[in-house]
Amino acid sequence: MDLPIIPRKRVAIVEIHGAIGTAIRSQVFVPMLKRLREDDRTRAVVLDIDSPGGSASVSDYLYLELQKLARKKPVISFVRGTCASGSYFLACASSRIISQRSAIIGSIGVMLIRPEMQELLAKIGVNVAVTTTGPYKGMGLPFRGMTPEEERKNQEMADRFFGHFVDVVAEGRKVSAETARAWATGEVWWASEALELGLVDELGDLERATAYAAELAGIAEHVESVRPQRPIAQRLMSQVAFAWTRAAGSEIERLLSSRSRW
């Protein structure tokens, strides 16, 4: 009689690689984080971070989901390369941040980017007419410069999220608001400098992060990488594209081999 296979308890590794809002999208990451939160096999989670940051709103949304996860099981952050701006925002949801020694940490701050195209459009003879229903409705359009009132409103928005960012860092790193604000100059530090300042807890590798997570969870170390589930159409298209690419590569190699002479 075959004995039933009992799934092993695991430490799940979640990759936070690339820009938040494009490579890291809430539409796919939030459901994955929810599944990890409800999964009995997953006893701890390690965030494998290599990201320059990105969208403020997406960062905040993912941070809330990571907080929910961290209330149920240990969440540890490992910094592989860059942990800056929005990705440091996410790391503050974890109970410990472990960084490899040559990583870049920080960039605590906010910036709003808006291209201005009115001079370019004027050079090519294009004029854009805009009709709005309020004084701020067209704020941010690249077809014209901003009014002083719009500039003030834009600065208010940046300052408001900046204050929120500082509060998140202070809470996550268990420091005073004054200390967190002193870090929030927008600059980045080498990992050793970040360790001295208190932005990270220790220097180490991914194995150290997973071992620490397993220790906190009270389980034998068994690690599995977890990735967001892609829609089936996207997965099928990827498989087809891979098959075509492999077939094309094989044909090119065959033609080159047939023409080669020693």
Residues acting as catalytic residues: 85, 137
Tokens for 89, please give them.
């925002």
The type of residue at 76 is I
Two structure tokens written together for 128: 């854009």
**DSSP track, 228-249:** PPPPHHHHHHHHHHHHHHHHHH
Kindly give the residue spans of alpha helices, DSSP state H, lying in the chain: 26-38, 56-72, 86-91, 118-123, 148-173, 177-183, 191-197, 206-217, 232-259
Q: How far apart are CA 180 and CA 199, in angstroms?
A: 9
In Å, how far from its chain's centre is CA 101?
20
Cα angle vertex 137, ends 134, 140, to 5°?
Answer: 150
